[in-house]
Chain A
């Protein structure tokens, strides 16, 4: 017991003897704090500490689903075609302008195949029939020529902006022209007909604004309140070149119809 007490008594004089030798310097508190702060994470790694950033995959999935809900139409159109067919002038003129009319079925196939918003708007395909006629001659000798153009033409589309109903398109297609012709001599008619391969290419603008809505696709109370289903009208203005056999015709016109 006596040695323990002695040890305790000795400790105290040691402490006193130290302070007595000069001022003890303060540590650099400010630098110490900054250092400590840098070592700390900016945010807590804890899942429960706040909202986290979505991953790239999550973002894609979110956009895909939004694109499909924003414009849920499957992209089937039926349009009436009209305009001027600048028939290649067999007599060596620039062209012979004639009226043209037809029907066009369009499938925006990329809406079905893709879910990415850009890809969904990027392509469609037309199946078209159109007709132009050319008649000329004297009362005694005259001829009427009918041209029926059948074509299958995929197109690439470039919308004016996100969710824009208007787009520029470029198109390339193949098909056939059925050419039926009559030559009439003194009221005696001689018919002739034949088909030629058709190659077509062209550019134009396509509009498909929503005009009639009939409900919301996935719940009116959802976050996607703008996601409306309905009928769209579709318009086109186009310049299309047809190469039938060795002859070139040019169509300047447009079409109008409905899209679902």
Chain B
């Protein structure tokens, strides 16, 4: 039997040993990630930003567990500031996560499912940030740091059901929500780099195009085609950049993912809408009708929202990737988000037409992009792809002469003219 002093010493040692792993950056951890052949495996990676690996927090992001967001529109109408709105939305602000690791020779191995999930999510958010750091091309990326990720968070509309199998960028809380899985039994969304890259791209779009405000003005003021175009543009560009995030992370063996959803969702028609490498994607009469006639809520719930967005993503992919110019185009598109020079960006186009929504058209959006692509061959191909796939109605034929930047682009023949 232990003598009392020796026993108390042992207790003291146990308590002292009850400390978190000492973080020395970069932190070597194991995650679940993709292989180039589409399968998933455990992978050793390095996290470069966490200040606490147990609480999954750092200057870029902080994971918060157990939080719950409920959207009560009547309640939200009483909010007088973004901060007040965030307080009203967050019914439960959540707690610090407490990742459970086993240290094996300096490499931290997750010891339970949620720790695998959280470590993978943290890595994927870091990779998305690194992609945009490259795409920002030397410009400050401070606006892309210091956000929350509500891990395993609750999300619902009042009176509705809890959201499941989803990842959401939610500006009012200045962060993301990774809701629990339910019916989708493939790769959990936090482990899917492409989906995290897609959501991170919404953050970038929101910061640059909407100025980072909690409730962007055009989303409240606009309706019908201008609103629908803006939402689809956000989704399509998020898929295009999400693809870029997976390619940029190829060093870990992940490989480019042309369909961000297929690893995590049942491979059905709804999932296949998001494939960005399919050259047969074109505007259709039914899509055009929905685009022109659906109101906000209807468009947001529709598959047409993603179908139209996919036309942007496919166009950008096919214009750049075959020539190996995707990195040039990625930077050009980001430049086009916000440009206060004479060569206006999307943010300026929206601000100038906040009360004249009919001026926010496909043609003008295409022109803003084209005007920010300095590589003339790439510009021509982008114009061609966007025109033939979107078929802007105000153009009687290809090319759309009123668009100065795209005036010289060939019409293309990939899509039948409507």
Q: Name B1-40 residues within 8 Å CB distance of A.
A: 1-2, 7, 10-11, 13-15, 17-21, 32, 39-40
Residues in B neighbouring A74, C-beta threshold 8 A: none
Q: Name A100-133 residues within 8 Å CB distance of B.
A: 109, 125
Dominant secondary structure of chain A at its interface with chain B: strand
Residues in A neighbouring B15, C-beta threshold 8 A: 199, 243
Quick check: A88 and B98 within 8 Å, CB to CB? yes
The 8 A CB mask of B171-184 against A (1 = contact, 0 = none) is 00000000001001
Q: Name A187-232 residues within 8 Å CB distance of B.
A: 188, 190, 192-194, 196-199
Q: Name A130-146 residues within 8 Å CB distance of B.
A: 134-143, 145
Quick check: B118 and A90 within 8 Å, CB to CB? yes
Q: Of the 9-residue stretches A5-13, A33-41, A46-54, A177-185, which lies at the interface with chain B? A: A177-185
The answer for the CA separation of A230 and B59 in the assembled complex, in Å, is 66
Q: A185-B40, A185-B42, A199-B11 are in contact. Are A140 and B185 (CB under 8 A)?
A: yes
Q: Of the 9-residue stretches A76-84, A91-99, A251-259, which lies at the interface with chain B? A: A91-99
Quick check: A245 and B112 within 8 Å, CB to CB? no
Does A186 lie at the interface of the complex (its beta carbon under 8 Å from any beta carbon of B)? yes
Residues in B neighbouring A174, C-beta threshold 8 A: 7, 10-11, 14
Quick check: A90 and B114 within 8 Å, CB to CB? yes
Quick check: B20 and A192 within 8 Å, CB to CB? no
Residues in B neighbouring A199, C-beta threshold 8 A: 11, 14-15, 18
The answer for the CA separation of A59 and B94 in the assembled complex, in Å, is 63
The answer for the CA separation of A243 and B19 in the assembled complex, in Å, is 10
The 8 A CB mask of B92-110 against A (1 = contact, 0 = none) is 0011111110111000011
Does A233 lie at the interface of the complex (its beta carbon under 8 Å from any beta carbon of B)? no
Closest to A172 in B: B11
The answer for the CA separation of A187 and B102 in the assembled complex, in Å, is 22
Residues in A neighbouring B111, C-beta threshold 8 A: 145, 179, 181, 192, 194
Q: How many A residues, CB 8 Å from partner? A: 43
The answer for the CA separation of A185 and B112 in the assembled complex, in Å, is 13
Interchain nearest-CB distance for A125 vs B (Å): 7
Does B134 lie at the interface of the complex (its beta carbon under 8 Å from any beta carbon of A)? no
Does B188 lie at the interface of the complex (its beta carbon under 8 Å from any beta carbon of A)? yes
Q: How many B residues, CB 8 Å from partner? A: 52
A-B contact count (CB 8 A): 139
The answer for the CA separation of A143 and B186 in the assembled complex, in Å, is 14
Residues in B neighbouring A75, C-beta threshold 8 A: none
The answer for the CA separation of A186 and B34 in the assembled complex, in Å, is 12
Closest to A175 in B: B14
Quick check: A183 and B102 within 8 Å, CB to CB? no
Residues in B neighbouring A91, C-beta threshold 8 A: 65-66, 97, 114, 117-118, 151-152
Quick check: B98 and A138 within 8 Å, CB to CB? no
Interchain nearest-CB distance for B74 vs A (Å): 29
Quick check: A197 and B17 within 8 Å, CB to CB? yes
Interchain nearest-CB distance for B160 vs A (Å): 22
Counting chain A CB atoms within 10 Å of each CB, which of B2, B104, B109, B113 scores highest?
B113
Residues in A neighbouring B20, C-beta threshold 8 A: 246
Interchain nearest-CB distance for B254 vs A (Å): 14
Interchain nearest-CB distance for A148 vs B (Å): 13
- CB within 8 A of B103: which of A139, A154, A183, A194? A194
The answer for the CA separation of A183 and B39 in the assembled complex, in Å, is 15
Closest to A244 in B: B18
Does A89 lie at the interface of the complex (its beta carbon under 8 Å from any beta carbon of B)? yes
Quick check: A192 and B7 within 8 Å, CB to CB? no
The 8 A CB mask of B233-250 against A (1 = contact, 0 = none) is 000000000000000000
Residues in B neighbouring A136, C-beta threshold 8 A: 112-114
Quick check: A141 and B40 within 8 Å, CB to CB? yes
- CB within 8 A of A245: which of B17, B185, B188? B17
Closest to A93 in B: B66
Residues in B neighbouring A125, C-beta threshold 8 A: 1
Interchain nearest-CB distance for B271 vs A (Å): 15
Q: A92-B152, A243-B14, A246-B54 are in contact. Are A192 and B98 (CB under 8 A)?
A: no
Residues in B neighbouring A183, C-beta threshold 8 A: 32, 42, 110, 113, 116
The answer for the CA separation of A190 and B65 in the assembled complex, in Å, is 26
Q: A138-B187, A199-B11 are in contact. Are A181 and B18 (CB under 8 A)?
A: no
Q: List 15 A-B contacts (CB under 8 A).
A: A92-B95, A92-B97, A92-B98, A92-B151, A93-B65, A93-B95, A136-B113, A139-B185, A141-B187, A143-B116, A179-B102, A183-B32, A192-B104, A245-B18, A246-B98
Which 5 A/B pairs are nearest by Cβ-Cβ distance?
A92-B65, A194-B102, A199-B14, A139-B185, A143-B113
